[in-house]
A and B are shown apart, each in its own frame.
Chain A
Amino acid sequence: MRDSASQPVDSPEYPPELARLPPGRHGLPREFVAHNQRERLIAGLAEAVAENGYAGTTIAHITRHAAVSRRTFYEHFNSKDECFVAAYDTVMAELRRRVGEAFDQEDEWPQAIRAGIAAMLEFLTAEPHLARLSMVEALVAGPVVVERYDSAIQSLVPYFQAGREGRPEEILAGLSPTTEEALVGGMVSLISRRIFADRTEELESLLPDLVEFTLTPYLGSAEAAKVARG
């Protein structure tokens, strides 16, 4: 689930305003040559969308924020939609990397889940523009992005499925095949509702609730609550 080819986020050739954004797709040398501009356009789109919403964003907004010419925009992207897809993929790759790393650092599964959720909330809180882009605006950015959004959410399912391992039979018998989907859906809905309402600063306080909610099916509520309180 982790992207082993990910690049350092704060590589020195990035202008400081981009240090927050990770590089784009990996393993494509030609893209790396031009990635400075491309990254700037992606960051420009994120700022423009935060200001105007996806529907209200124009290519002029994006190029102004990125401080590049319209022609440069079209060298990289055919349309606003295409630029949004690139931005979305960039944000999600970074989110996935952080969640994966946090998860892998813990030996015990319940603690790994807690660390993964904490990493996700931390990233979304620190980057409210990117949070909005990936969890709210993605849904209005057309079918291509919506499909990616759906599969990004589904890609969290295996983290939870790992919790089935070694559970007693009576617990496993109670876990229907859709349990993990429902847990992930519930978690994401709690998060995106707060981002939608511009209450991104509340996200980190959701940690104990989300941990307890997602661990309860596997550990029972008493044990899940204990892990949730940290």
Chain B
Amino acid sequence: MGSNSTRRPLPGRQQLPREFIARHQRARIIAALAEETAEQGYRAVTVADIVRRAGIARNTFYENFSSKEECFLATQEFAMSTALERVVTAAGSFEKWPLRVRAGLAAFLGYVTEEPALARTCMVEALSAGPAAVRHYEESQQAFVSLFQLGRDVSPHGADLPETLEEALIGGVFWILYQRLTTSRPEEIPELLPELVEFALRPYLGVEAAGEVAAAESVEGVEGAPAG
């Protein structure tokens, strides 16, 4: 998001369409809120901080959002929909369920690593940003619920798995990421992929099969990976 939001209009271009400018400003405000929130914590951030960071006028902020709270929710929505899109696209390029889970988790960890400020905002600060933000946070986990649930069809004991399994698995994955984000070790996040894959697959496939998928160097060459 960083490079896009600072891109200048091409020279010679007459005038940028209004809608483009508006979207561009919104993106800048969202990025600024995430950076300020990651640095100071949600409670401490003021609209003045966001305005300064985004390099916009105070009026422009209020043309886009009525309050810091509304801006926060928009930031969550933006980050969640981007993350979801990446997860769905990555998972969708595989046929077999274990590989879909692996690819989806890899895409998610990739996004979290690329955007540590947004990730911290949505996965750490959201929990202290009021009931609407917490609800958003919980909804964002739902995207994974449906991806994981497909494992029940391929599991030899799928029918017997506890009803809350997916909720618990996702809670576990998010907790691990929360830990890395609060202890400022986001650079370690990509290394977590094998263990998170193993954690997520084990209840469905058992230790051995889960370990195989988790340990594969890359998804290519694993049975069920797309050719080429």
A interface, CB within 8 angstroms of B: 55, 139-140, 142-143, 146, 150, 153, 170-171, 173-174, 176-179, 181-190, 193, 196, 206, 208-210, 212-213, 216-217, 220-222, 225, 228
Smallest Cβ-Cβ distance to A139: which chain B residue? B127
Q: Which of B134, B165, B182, B211 contacts A174 (CB 8 A)?
A: B211
A213 to nearest B CB, angstroms?
Answer: 5
B195 x A179 contact (CB < 8 A): yes
Q: Contacts of A209 on B, CB cut-off 8 Å?
A: 162-165, 168
- Are the C-beta atoms of A193 and B128 separated by less than 8 Å? no
- B interface bracket (residues with beta carbon within 8 Å of A): 35 or more
> 6 closest Cβ contacts across the A-B interface?
A185-B175, A189-B171, A186-B172, A176-B195, A182-B172, A186-B168
List the count of A-B residue pairs having beta carbons below 8 Å apart.
112
Contact among A182, A208, A225 for B175, CB-based, below 8 A: A182
A-B contacts, 15 listed (Cβ < 8 Å): A140-B127, A140-B130, A143-B41, A176-B198, A185-B174, A186-B172, A186-B175, A187-B171, A189-B171, A189-B172, A193-B171, A209-B164, A213-B168, A217-B202, A225-B160
In contact, A177 and B128 (Cβ under 8 angstroms): no
Contact B171 A174 (CB under 8 A): no
Q: Check A142–B43 contact: CB distance below 8 A.
A: yes
* Residue numbers in B under 8 Å from A187 (CB-CB): 168, 171
List of B residues within 8 angstroms of A182 by Cβ: 172-173, 175-176, 195-196, 199
Chain B: residues with CB nearer than 8 A to chain A? Answer: 41, 43, 127-128, 130, 134, 138, 157, 160-165, 167-176, 178-179, 182, 192, 194-196, 198-199, 202-203, 206-208, 210-211
Q: Given A176-B194, A177-B195, are A221 and B157 also a contact pair (CB < 8 Å)? A: yes
Which A residues are CB-close (under 8 A) to B176?
178, 181-182, 185
